[in-house]
Amino acid sequence: MTIKFLTYTFLFLVTVSCNTGSEKSNVRSVPGSNEMAEMNRYLVQKDRERIENYIDRKNLDMTESPTGLWYFIKKEGQGSYITDNDKIVIEYNCSLLDGTICYSSEKDGVKEIVLGRSELEAGLNQGLRMLRTGGEAVFIIPPFLAYGFTGDGEKIPSRAVIVYNVNILQVHKFVE
């Protein structure tokens, strides 16, 4: 009985030790934070290259903000700069780098926004703060300041760089 027990134990240990090695080779490695950070830097750099190529092709005079938003102020406008709780009315054209129009005030009507209270792309939120009543600008918004990996679920695809042409029609203080 002891020999049978030892034989079964030996066979069990040999089987387990053989399987352990093959299981390890089938386990997928999950990237750690260093790998994810490196991948993110790579994607941001590729987006930057795409934006710079677009600017060169279109011969645009754009400036990059510290956050990565590209902008060109066509017309300064008048009065104070737009701030939180300003209710603004804008004409706009939102397109992809390839020229595909996603949204526009021509088709969808002017956009009314209460800055700081409306759901808005982070890049557009930043850009509008550079303008005043009557101001006009072009904003090129990289994915990390727009809709990121998911897109908007409608017309803006995953990881899209978007271009906004905006014209500020009105600015009023929001009153609740």
CA 99 to chain centre: 18
How far apart are alpha carbons 131 and 3 in whole angstroms? 88
The highest-level CATH class for domain 61-173 is alpha beta
Summarised one tens digit per residue, pLDDT across range 42-79 is 999 999 999 999 999 999 999 999 999 999 999 989 99
CA 60 to chain centre: 22
Contact indicator for 76, 135 with CB cutoff of 8 Å: yes
Q: Which residues contact 25 (CB under 8 A, 6 or more apart)?
A: none
| Burial environment of residue 155 by CB neighbours within 10 A (0 to 12, 13 to 18, 19 or more) | middle
* Phi/psi at 50 (5° precision): -60, -45
Q: What is the pTM of this model?
A: 0.80
Domain residue spans in the chain? 61-173
Summarised one tens digit per residue, pLDDT across range 123-136 is 999 999 999 999 99
How far apart are alpha carbons 107 and 102 in whole angstroms? 10
pLDDT at 6 over 60: no
pLDDT for 22 equals: 45
